[in-house]
Structure 1
């Protein structure tokens, strides 16, 4: 018989896939096969959270991302995440994020407080390193940019696709020219609202090249610099997605910062020991600094 943690873990995964569907306590109880009273007690015992509150927080977190990263009308977002009116959505949203949805979308700086990560019971909890605050200077590179369009739920996965494309394409060019791989490689990623569809994003991933003799058609790329909060990652390539998710949903909301417009910078290290294209395809470990553009928040802000 499944233990309670496994039951709740499976239920959370189902909730995550159905945030845009009806998710009353009765609906969730029907899915679980337990009475709603027993299910709510079990959920609280296993997670420490109240089931209905957790579902609302996750829906509002998705709604917050949609406000910042899409041009979908606020009423459409409210309906998408099953609020019965824009007024109900606004009340709930303001309770979690301290501002109305319209203000949240309009503000130039993005306050990450209120974003709620999904509960992941059966996954080894990733221990994030202590963040460091770094003032990076403006730098000029030769840039090669990869682009992709996706919807909100695919955002991290598409960023990973572009990152892998970078490793296979860009580094392979070094091997073909018998050049020595640089020990430090800068990449810059940004997310723009889709131009053709209101619920899509355009993901751009730019490799900053200091030696333009290796790759043709590189264009001038200026990294404006400024204050960044940086997290060091050392581990398998597949673990980087979880790492990035934890940065945005768990680590940054705990800091006294707001996100400012600008590129997220990844500084990748220690590729000089790769000697062939096959090495790229089987990189056992990634070492990089993941740096997010921020501004320090005043205590009364």
Structure 2
């Protein structure tokens, strides 16, 4: 029997295709409503109405926010020059980039890069028509001086965890070789001159081991996020936390260690707790 797609399904697929087109081309060419019209084959008026009804903002505004958001990540996690970032995101000049960035975030690019807080005002991550924004639980953690095994690796931006096998292979090996039901990991990042970010981890251990290092989990307010599922889906979940939850709830991240606690249950499923050190003043 031949199945017919409903009008609602077609709309959902159209929105999904537009969102994917924007993500695929944001660093390829300058995107505007006219390029979306050419891509989709629909009229400008219909697309504007369809997109706003599903996503809550006009297409042009969404494109603007996605460019600014990608720029914000590059500013915080790399040492690329402003000119390089402007060119990478297809702004017509560094001046245009600086003006648009300040208009949307309230900071010049250099102010944003050098701030002690990572603010997410007016930022937005990649969206889906049926996206669910994770809700944090705010909690207070005491200072904790820890020691453990260091590990580092580089990830591309945007971050999809394609180079994090080193971390996850160790996690899987740890649960295979140890009876513990969880492992705690502290996270820090270092900027790179390339479009990559160096991620530094410390796997917490009670006993000192060869080549161990130490760190301090700062006392303060943390936003706690919990997820149960596969490692692959968890990586997407954390992206959603950073680029959609923190802006939605008006939270700002401090430049100190994050804390990740990974549980492996008896049925071999994973439960994740992620604690982000935040300042909730807007």
User: Normalising by the residue count of structure 1, what TM-score does the alignment of the two structures yield?
Assistant: 0.81
> In the TM superposition, what is the alpha-carbon distance from 1:236 to its structure 2 partner?
3.5
- Please show how residues 65-76 of structure 1 align to structure 2 within 5 Å: 65-76=73-84
Q: Is residue 157 from structure 1 mapped to residue 150 from structure 2 by the alignment?
A: no
* CA spacing shift, 1:128–1:43, aligned 2, 3 Å: closer
Instruction: Give the match for residue 39 of structure 2.
Output: 31
Instruction: Work out the number of aligned pairs and report it.
Output: 273
- Please show how residues 252-263 of structure 1 align to structure 2 within 5 Å: 252-263=246-257
8 Å CA contact retained: 2:155, 2:163? no
- Please show how residues 247-286 of structure 1 align to structure 2 within 5 Å: 247-269=241-263, 271=265, 273=266, 283=268, 285-286=269-270
Instruction: Give the match for residue 277 of structure 1.
Output: none
* CA spacing shift, 1:88–1:229, aligned 2, 3 Å: same
- Which whole-Å CA distance do the structure 2 matches of 1:52 and 1:99 have between them? 21
- CA deviations on 1:88-142 (whole Å, 9 max, x unpaired) are 2122111210111111112122112221122201x5x43634412222322222x
> In the TM superposition, what is the alpha-carbon distance from 1:5 to its structure 2 partner?
1.6
Q: Is residue 172 from structure 1 mapped to residue 176 from structure 2 by the alignment?
A: yes
What's the secondary structure of 1:244's corresponding residue?
helix
* CA spacing shift, 1:168–1:185, aligned 2, 3 Å: closer
Instruction: Give the match for residue 233 of structure 2.
Output: 239
- Which whole-Å CA distance do the structure 1 matches of 2:229 and 2:217 have between them? 29
Structure 1 spans left out of the alignment, 5+ residues: 175-180, 275-282
User: Normalising by the residue count of structure 2, what TM-score does the alignment of the two structures yield?
Assistant: 0.86
Instruction: Give the match for residue 98 of structure 1.
Output: 106
8 Å CA contact retained: 1:132, 1:231? no
Residue 217 (structure 1) aligned to one of 210, 218, 222: 210
- Which whole-Å CA distance do the structure 2 matches of 1:23 and 1:251 have between them? 25
What's the secondary structure of 1:62's corresponding residue?
helix
- Please show how residues 55-204 of structure 1 align to structure 2 within 5 Å: 55-121=63-129, 123=130, 125-126=131-132, 128-141=134-147, 143-153=148-158, 155-158=159-162, 160-174=164-178, 181-194=179-192, 197-204=193-200
* CA spacing shift, 1:156–1:211, aligned 2, 3 Å: farther
> In the TM superposition, what is the alpha-carbon distance from 1:288 to its structure 2 partner?
2.6
Query: Cα RMSD between the aligned structures?
Result: 2.4
What's the secondary structure of 2:213's corresponding residue?
strand
* CA spacing shift, 1:226–1:159, aligned 2, 3 Å: farther
